[in-house]
Amino acid sequence: MWNLARVHIALSHFPIAAVVLGVLFLAASEITKKTWLAKAAAVLLVIAGLGAGASYLTGDGAEQALWDFNQAYDTESDSNDWVPEHEKRAQIALWFLVGSGVGGALLLYLGRKPDGPRPPIALRLLVLVTALGATAGVLATASAGGEVRHPEIRPLVADEGRGEQRDRRQLSRPNERESRGIGGLGTSLGSAEASPASQCRTAAESSSSWKPLLEEREGTSRSSRSGCPRIASR
């Protein structure tokens, strides 16, 4: 099913490809003096600007979809903590992309006549520099977007702001991880407030799968340590 998160991911690739190709075509047109390369570059820059606007407008919906997913499946992911950096870079890149798109439209307008003069060199260089800034911006934004869902590419040391956000989220759910534990044993092992009877029931329910492993690793059964009646393995 298509939601705003999927739309955002799909749209975000168009500005990247368009602005990179636009820069290459525009630089090649300055070297070769070929008009069709300049016009192709201008069209690509306009497409990049429009695509960037559409991608940015779907960003809030994508963030909400990510938040809803983490809440619905009760994941321990901190992916939402990395969204602000992605959004901050996107705002900067958007200005460059819109600027280069406007410049591309102006180049198309001034060079609309087949036999007319080329647009002024100052304008062409200004558009090229703006497009280079847009390229750097979209690549930085894409990198931050990848860090939202791919922890393996994140910096090893998170900044202080993200750490504080994670700490606040963990404090709001103080015993959630301990109460879940592993495979059902977490309630009896991780919750210090559970009653002895409740601990014994949990041990009995999970003994068939976990007791042999615990006996092998620790040399004694968990039931005997907790004071519960010994439960025969099945």
Q: What average pLDDT does the structure give for the chain?
A: 74
Chain segment 113-146, per-residue pLDDT in tens? 888 888 999 999 999 999 999 999 999 998 888 8
211 contact partners, CB below 8 Å, separation of at least 6? 221, 222, 223, 231, 233
In percent, how much of the chain has pLDDT > 90? 36
**Cα distance from N-terminal residue to C-terminal residue, the chain:** 45
pLDDT, position 222: 43
Confidence band of 212 (pLDDT split at 50, 70, 90): low
What is the total count of domains within the chain? Answer: 2
How many other CB atoms sit within 10 Å of the CB of residue 115?
5
In this structure, the answer to whether residues 124 and 141 fall within a common structural domain is yes
Q: Are residues 37 and 142 in the same domain?
A: yes
pLDDT band at 38 (very low <50, low <70, confident <90, very high): very high
d(C-alpha 55, C-alpha 131), whole Å: 18
Residue 157 maps to a domain = yes
Q: Is residue 194 part of a domain?
A: yes
List pLDDT tens digits, range 4-17.
888 888 888 889 99
pTM of structure: 0.61
Rg, C-alpha atoms of the chain: 29
Do 96 and 156 belong to one domain?
yes
232 CB burial (10 A radius; 0-12, 13-18, 19+) = exposed
